[in-house]
C-alpha cells in the first residue's frame, strides 16, 4: 500500500492517532475487510503490535471486529468514523468537565490552593513571568488575567485581534464590568470589525487608534501580557506572548498608552 506521508500526517493530526494506528487504519480502508496478519504486511506495522492497535481503533470507533474465524476486521465509512469520533470526543470532554466541576467542592482543591499560596509567599514578584506559546494558550492566560482583575483592564489589539476578543473574552469582560472594573480597548477599527467594536463598547470604552500596531493587555497596573509577533503573518500555533507581573513596567506601559489614548474619541 502506497500512501503519501503528508496524507498520513494530516490524518494523525485530525484524528489524534499515532503512526502505527493511522497506517493500520488506512490499510484496512484500502481492503474493506482483512485479518490482522494481512494488515501487518500491508501497513509495515509489526505483527506483535497490530492486534493491540486494531483493538484500540475498535474502541475509538474506527473499525468493527467481524465475528467468526479467522478473526477479521471491517472498515467503516469515513463519514461514519467522523460522527463516531465526534461523539466519543464530546462524551469524553463532558465527563472530564464534570470531574473538574466536582473538584471545586472537594478538599483536594483546597489542598492544591494551599500549596500554591504557600509557594507564592517565597516567590519574588519579578519571578512571576514567563512565555506563553500558541494562540489558544495566550487567550486562556488573557482570560485568567481578566477574571482576576480588580480595578482596570487595558487591551490594545489589531483589526483581526478585536474580532477574536469578542468571541474569546466577552463573558469574562462582562463579569469584570459588573465587578466595577474599568475596561479600555484600543484597536484600528474599520468595516471589518466595526460591528464587533460596537458590541464590545457595551462593556468597555472602545477607541479606534488607526496607527497603533501593538498587542498587549495590562491588568490592575500590575500584570502585563504582550504578544511579540504580528498576528496577520504568524500561524496561531506559533503565536507567542510574554507575561510579566511587575508593577513598575506595567505602570510605565500604561502611562505611555495614556498619551495616545487621550488623543482619540471613543466610538
Report the pLDDT value the prediction gives residue 124, as an integer from 0 to 100. Answer: 53
Report the pLDDT value the prediction gives residue 115, as an integer from 0 to 100. Answer: 67
Kindly list the distances between the CA atom of residue 232 and the CA atoms of 45, 76, 186, 213, 215, in Å, as whole numbers in the listed order.
41, 40, 17, 11, 12
Instruction: Check whether 252 has a pLDDT greater than 60.
Output: yes
Tell me if 220 sits within 8 A of 240, measured CB to CB: no
Mean pLDDT in residue range 218-226: 94
Residue bearing cell 481578566: 146
Report the pLDDT value the prediction gives residue 165, as an integer from 0 to 100. Answer: 94
Residue 165, H or E segment: helix 159-178
Report the pLDDT value the prediction gives residue 4, as an integer from 0 to 100. Answer: 80
Report the pLDDT value the prediction gives residue 101, as an integer from 0 to 100. Answer: 81
Report the pLDDT value the prediction gives residue 189, as an integer from 0 to 100. Answer: 94
Kindly list the distances between the CA atom of residue 55 and the CA atoms of 22, 23, 45, 61, in Å, as whole numbers in the listed order.
13, 14, 14, 10
Instruction: Map out the domains of the chain as residue ranges.
Output: 5-81, 127-261
CA atoms within 13 A on the CB side of 24: 30
With 0-12 CB in 10 A as exposed, 13-18 as middle and 19+ as buried, what is 3?
Answer: middle
pTM for this one?
A: 0.62
Residue bearing cell 465509512: 77
Instruction: Check whether 2 has a pLDDT greater than 80.
Output: no
CA-CA-CA-CA dihedral for 148, 149, 154, 159, to nearest 10: 40
pLDDT digits (tens, 9 = 90+) for 10-66: 899 889 899 999 999 999 999 999 999 999 999 999 999 999 999 999 988 899 988
Best CATH choice for the domain 127-261 from the list 2.30.30.790, 3.40.50.2000, 3.30.870.10, 3.40.50.300? 3.30.870.10
Report the pLDDT value the prediction gives residue 69, as an integer from 0 to 100. Answer: 82
Count helices and strands (H / E) in the chain: 10, 10
- Residues of the chain above pLDDT 90, percent: 60
Decide whether 5-81 matches 127-261 in CATH topology: no
pLDDT digits (tens, 9 = 90+) for 145-200: 999 999 999 999 999 999 999 999 999 999 999 999 999 999 999 998 999 999 99
- Closest of 91, 85, 96 to residue 62, by C-alpha: 85
| DSSP three-state, residue 173 | helix
Instruction: Check whether 248 has a pLDDT greater than 90.
Output: no
Report the pLDDT value the prediction gives residue 198, as an integer from 0 to 100. Answer: 95
Tell me if 139 sits within 8 A of 261, measured CB to CB: no
Report the pLDDT value the prediction gives residue 187, as an integer from 0 to 100. Answer: 95
Q: How far apart (Å, rounded) are the C-alpha atoms in residues 98 and 264?
A: 46
Q: How far apart (Å, rounded) are the C-alpha atoms in residues 36 and 48?
A: 10
What is the widest separation between alpha-carbon atoms in the chain? Answer: 80
Tell me if 218 sits within 8 A of 188, measured CB to CB: no
Instruction: Check whether 90 has a pLDDT greater than 90.
Output: no
pLDDT digits (tens, 9 = 90+) for 96-144: 888 888 777 777 777 777 766 665 555 555 555 789 999 999 999 999 9
Which grid coordinates belong to 173?
Answer: 469582560
Residue 210, H or E segment: none
Instruction: Check whether 68 has a pLDDT greater than 60.
Output: yes
Domain 5-81 has CATH 1.10.10.10: yes
Amino acid at each position: 500500500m502506497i500512501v503519501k506521508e503528508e496524507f498520513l500526517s494530516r490524518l494523525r493530526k485530525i484524528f489524534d492517532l499515532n503512526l502505527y494506528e493511522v497506517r493500520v487504519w488506512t490499510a484496512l480502508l484500502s481492503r474493506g475487510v482483512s485479518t490482522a496478519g494481512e494488515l501487518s504486511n500491508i501497513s509495515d506495522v509489526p505483527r506483535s503490535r497490530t492486534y493491540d492497535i486494531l483493538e484500540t481503533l475498535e474502541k475509538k470507533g474506527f473499525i468493527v471486529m467481524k465475528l467468526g474465524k479467522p478473526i477479521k476486521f471491517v472498515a467503516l465509512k469515513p463519514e461514519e468514523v467522523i460522527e463516531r469520533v465526534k461523539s466519543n470526543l464530546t462524551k469524553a470532554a463532558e465527563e472530564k468537565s464534570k470531574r473538574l466541576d466536582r473538584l471545586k467542592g472537594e478538599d483536594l482543591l483546597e489542598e492544591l490552593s494551599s500549596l500554591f499560596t504557600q509557594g507564592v509567599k517565597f516567590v519574588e514578584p519579578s519571578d512571576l513571568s514567563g512565555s506563553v506559546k500558541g494562540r489558544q494558550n495566550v487567550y486562556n492566560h488573557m482570560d485568567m488575567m481578566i477574571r482576576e482583575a480588580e480595578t482596570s483592564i487595558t487591551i490594545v489589539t489589531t483589526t483581526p485581534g478585536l474580532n477574536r476578543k469578542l468571541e474569546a473574552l466577552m463573558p469574562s469582560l462582562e463579569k469584570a464590568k459588573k465587578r466595577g472594573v474599568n475596561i479600555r480597548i484600543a484597536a484600528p477599527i474599520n468595516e471589518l470589525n466595526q460591528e464587533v467594536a460596537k458590541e464590545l463598547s457595551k462593556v468597555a470604552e472602545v477607541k479606534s487608534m488607526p496607527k497603533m500596531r501593538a498587542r498587549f493587555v495590562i491588568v490592575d497596573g500590575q500584570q502585563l501580557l504582550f504578544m511579540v509577533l504580528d498576528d496577520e503573518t504568524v500561524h496561531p500555533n506559533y503565536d507567542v506572548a510574554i507575561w510579566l507581573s511587575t508593577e513598575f513596567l506595567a505602570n510605565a506601559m500604561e502611562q505611555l498608552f495614556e498619551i495616545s489614548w487621550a488623543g482619540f474619541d471613543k466610538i
